[in-house]
């Protein structure tokens, strides 16, 4: 099969356009991606894009970049995946590099220093807010509450590397589910309507 480079370029440009318009984390990009590939280009059907977002959410990495990569692959194989990924990443990359450059130049200015004393407290609030948001869907029974509490305690007191904690999390889940099913305990693998994307879509469609 001859590679249609014009199509690859089109994929790249479509995702390039999405980048700069999205503030507020990866989730902000999802509706923009949907509009571009479903409504405007008609590359992917509405039903399929929901599934792609759900998979993109469970694969490591940012949901927006993952979704773009997945859609790129569906459209034009590995080349499409790379084109979409670079396209969605590039504008953000340039903006972050410019902001980093500016920040490193001005950070010793007394006004900027004072601003950042307060901003750091706000960043702590932003992290608590992130914990609150994910906690609302992740912690819903005694087992999940126990796992979350023990995790914080282990990290804080034993200084275990977070990567070790994440990897053991994968096994903890499998073991917990297995043990519960041995004892015939009922187990709810997900909080109802856990999937944020699915939930948002249902709201939109209603």
Partner 1 sequence: MDVLVELFLTFLMIGFVSFGGGYAMIPVIEIEVSNHGWMTTQEFTDVIAIAGMSPGPIATNSAIFVGYKTAELPGAIVSALAMVIPSLLIILIIATFFFRFNENKFVKSAFYGLRPIITGLIVYAAIKFAITNNVIGELSWHTASLMIIFGLSLFSLIKLRLHPLFVIALSGFVGMVLY
Buried b (16+ CB within 10 A) or exposed e, 113-136: eeeeeeeeeeeeeeeeeeeeeeee
Contact status: 179 vs partner 1 (CB under 8 A):
no
Q: How far is the CB of 192 from partner 1 (least distance, A)?
A: 14
Pairwise CA distance, residues 24 & 57, whole Å: 17
Q: How far is the CB of 70 from partner 1 (least distance, A)?
A: 5
Touching partner 1, residues 89-118 (CB under 8 A): 89, 91-93, 95-97, 99-101, 103-104, 107, 111, 113-118
Pairwise CA distance, residues 180 & 163, whole Å: 26
| Closer by beta carbon to partner 1, 38 or else 84 | 84
Pairwise CA distance, residues 47 & 119, whole Å: 41
Which residues lie closer than 8 Å to 91 by C-beta, 6 or more apart?
16, 19, 20
Touching partner 1, residues 144-173 (CB under 8 A): 144-145, 147-152, 155-156, 161-163, 165-173
Q: How far is the CB of 5 from partner 1 (least distance, A)?
A: 20
Contact status: 17 vs partner 1 (CB under 8 A):
no
One character per residue 119-138, x = contact with partner 1 (rule: CB under 8 A): xxxxxxxxxxxxxx-xx-xx
Pairwise CA distance, residues 169 & 162, whole Å: 10
Contact status: 177 vs partner 1 (CB under 8 A):
yes
């Amino acid at each position: 099969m001859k590679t249609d480079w014009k199509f690859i370029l089109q994929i790249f440009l479509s995702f390039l356009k999405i980048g700069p318009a999205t503030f507020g984390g990866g989730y902000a990009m999802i509706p923009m991606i949907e509009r571009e590939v479903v409504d405007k280009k008609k590359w992917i059907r509405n039903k399929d894009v929901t599934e792609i977002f759900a998979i993109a959410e469970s694969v490591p990495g940012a949901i927006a970049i993952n979704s773009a990569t997945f859609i790129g692959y569906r459209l034009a194989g590995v080349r499409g995946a790379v084109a979409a990924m670079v396209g969605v990443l590039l504008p953000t990359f340039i903006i972050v590099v410019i902001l980093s450059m500016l920040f490193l130049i001005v950070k010793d200015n007394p006004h900027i220093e004072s601003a950042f004393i307060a901003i750091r407290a706000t960043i702590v609030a932003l992290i608590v807010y992130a914990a609150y948001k994910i906690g609302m869907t992740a912690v819903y029974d005694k087992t999940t509450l126990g796992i979350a509490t023990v995790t914080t305690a282990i990290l804080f007191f034993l200084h275990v590397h977070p990567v070790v904690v994440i990897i053991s999390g994968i096994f903890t889940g499998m073991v917990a589910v297995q043990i519960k099913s041995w004892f015939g305990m009922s187990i709810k693998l997900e909080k109802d309507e856990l999937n944020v994307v699915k939930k948002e879509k249902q709201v939109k469609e209603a």
